[in-house]
Structure 1
Amino acid sequence: MSDLGTAYLTDLRERMRGVKALGEGALDQLDDHEWHGVLGPEGNSAAVLVQHLSGNMHSRWGALRNGFTAGVEAETSGRHRDAEFEDGARTPGELRRRWEDGWAVFLDAVDHLRPEDLARELTIRGEAHSVLAALQRQVAHYSGHVYQLVFLAKTLRGAGWQTLSIPRARAAGDIQADMTGSDTKNDAP
């Protein structure tokens, strides 16, 4: 398990830092007023998504920030989850600090985990999980919300959106070049 555990934690660290960077790429494109924009009556703004992610990260991973501790309850009693979904009209600067603080807590916890910790038990809202299961739960949760941020920012920016991956026209040319062994865009007629 040690080699597999090491490989898993190494991959997790890299991937989650990539998820964080993706979210930052979306947030960077928002104008100040767009942080509080929603796409529908029950929609979440970027501000709300940032507040929720940060609250979850602090609650779930704060006790593990310096390494695994047996008997950890990964849901702090002082968390007010419902308040995370209320747009408190915080400034983009305040929201950025919450974003960074939340991710610092989560990534510090992951950085301090060891392969042997993955099979250990912690509880979330009284429900037992292996550390591995808790991590997988959060990977899905955090990635889902970051993709919501990307969708929201892309929709709000419209034509002003700058892609966070390979632009479509470039992707088609790259695929064609890979298939033929040459870059057809630069070939002479």
Structure 2
Amino acid sequence: MIIEPIKAEYQRYKFLAEGAIAQIKDEELHNAAGEDTNAIAVIMNHISGNLKSRFTNFLTEDGEKPWRNRDEEFEEKREDRATVLKKWEEGWRILFDEIDALQDSDLGKVVRIRGKELTVSDALQRSLAHAAYHAGQIVLLARIQAGKNWKSLSIPRGKSQEYNLNPTKERPQAPGNDLKEGI
């Protein structure tokens, strides 16, 4: 099945972002790296808004919903961690529900985003790249804030040979599993 590896990649980037978020204090979710940059909470809100819009009625409605206020996603709201995570989970749930409903035969179907026609395959690749881009931002911002307390989410420096003997990060894991293992 072609859809399953796509879902696994989405899960991998979600888990990376969550592994990073788990390493910072609540107030650090709202620290931006500088003026005109986004804090982690803002990026999470944007990803959630994007996923909700793109994947609500994915096959039948334009991916840019009239109810979405994209500009508002970039406003810092200073919400607590639980609220930020609840919104985050809502977006991902909608995505995964839609992916679970897809069949490989749907990949050639046409969907629209802002009126532009894309195949389901192209729309998924575009969305996955977008999620990966922002997950990377979240990881970098969290790593900077965690400083010396940072626990690697990938192969730690100097551990490549050891990792190659047991390459556990080649498949999705539950968020924070690596942190529990004490890498």
Give the alignment's TM-score, normalised by structure 1: 0.83
1:20 aligns to 2:14 (yes or no): yes
In 2, Cα distance between equivalents of 1:170 and 1:123: 45
What is the match of residue 77 of structure 2?
A: 88
**Residue 46 (1) aligns with residue 43 (2):** no
Paired with 1:32 and 1:16, the residues of 2 have a C-alpha distance of 24
Query: What amino acid maps onto 1:16 in structure 2?
Result: Y
- Say which SS state the counterpart of residue 56 (structure 2) adopts: helix
Deviation at residue 135 of structure 1 after TM alignment: 0.5
Shift in CA distance, 174/93, structure 1 to aligned 2, threshold 3 Å: closer
* The one of 3, 10, 17 aligned to 1:9: 3
Tell me which of 54, 63, 67 is aligned to 1:60. Answer: 54
What is the aligned partner in structure 2 of residue 165 from structure 1? 154
What whole-Å deviation, never above 9, does each CA across 1:16-40 have from its counterpart, x for those lacking one?
Answer: 1111111110111110110000111
Counterpart check, 1:29 vs 2:48: no
- Alpha-carbon distance in 2 for matches of 1:76, 1:43: 25
CA–CA separation in structure 1 for the residues paired with 2:163 and 2:18: 26
- Write the distance in 1 (CA, Å) between the matches of 2:57 and 2:106: 14
TM-aligned CA distance change 1:106 to 1:47, over 3 Å: same
Is 2:107–2:120's contact at 8 Å kept on the other side of the alignment?
yes
Q: How far did 1:102 drift?
A: 0.8
> After superposition, what is the alpha-carbon deviation per residue over 1:99-157, rounded to whole angstroms, capped at 9, x for unaligned?
11111111111111111111111110111111111101101000000010000000111
Q: Match of 2:112, SS?
A: strand
Within a 5 Å distance, the mapping from 1:97-176 to structure 2 comes to 97-173=86-162
In the superposition, the TM-score normalised over structure 2's length comes to 0.86
Greater C-alpha radius of gyration = 1
For the residues of structure 2 that align with 1:174 and 1:26, how far apart are their CA atoms?
20
Q: Across the two proteins, how many residue pairs are aligned to each other?
A: 166
SS of residue matched to 2:35: coil
Q: Deviations over 1:24-66 (max 9, x none)?
A: 10111110110000111111101100100000010000113xx
Q: Structure 1 counterpart of 2:31, which letter?
A: G
Separation (CA, whole Å) in 2 of partners of 1:168 and 1:174:
11
Kindly provide the amino acid, as one letter, of the partner of residue 142 in structure 2.
A
Q: Percent identity?
A: 35
Separation in 1 of the partners of 2:163 and 2:22?
Answer: 27
Structure 1 segments, 4+ long, off by >4 Å, are 172-175
Pairwise CA distance, 1:169:
2.2
Amino acid in the other structure paired with 2:117: A
Structure number with higher relative contact order (C-alpha < 8 Å, ≥ 6 residues apart): 2
User: Which amino acid in structure 2 is aligned with residue 106 of structure 1?
Assistant: L
Task: Judge conservation of contact 2:23–2:142 (CA < 8 Å) in 1.
Answer: yes
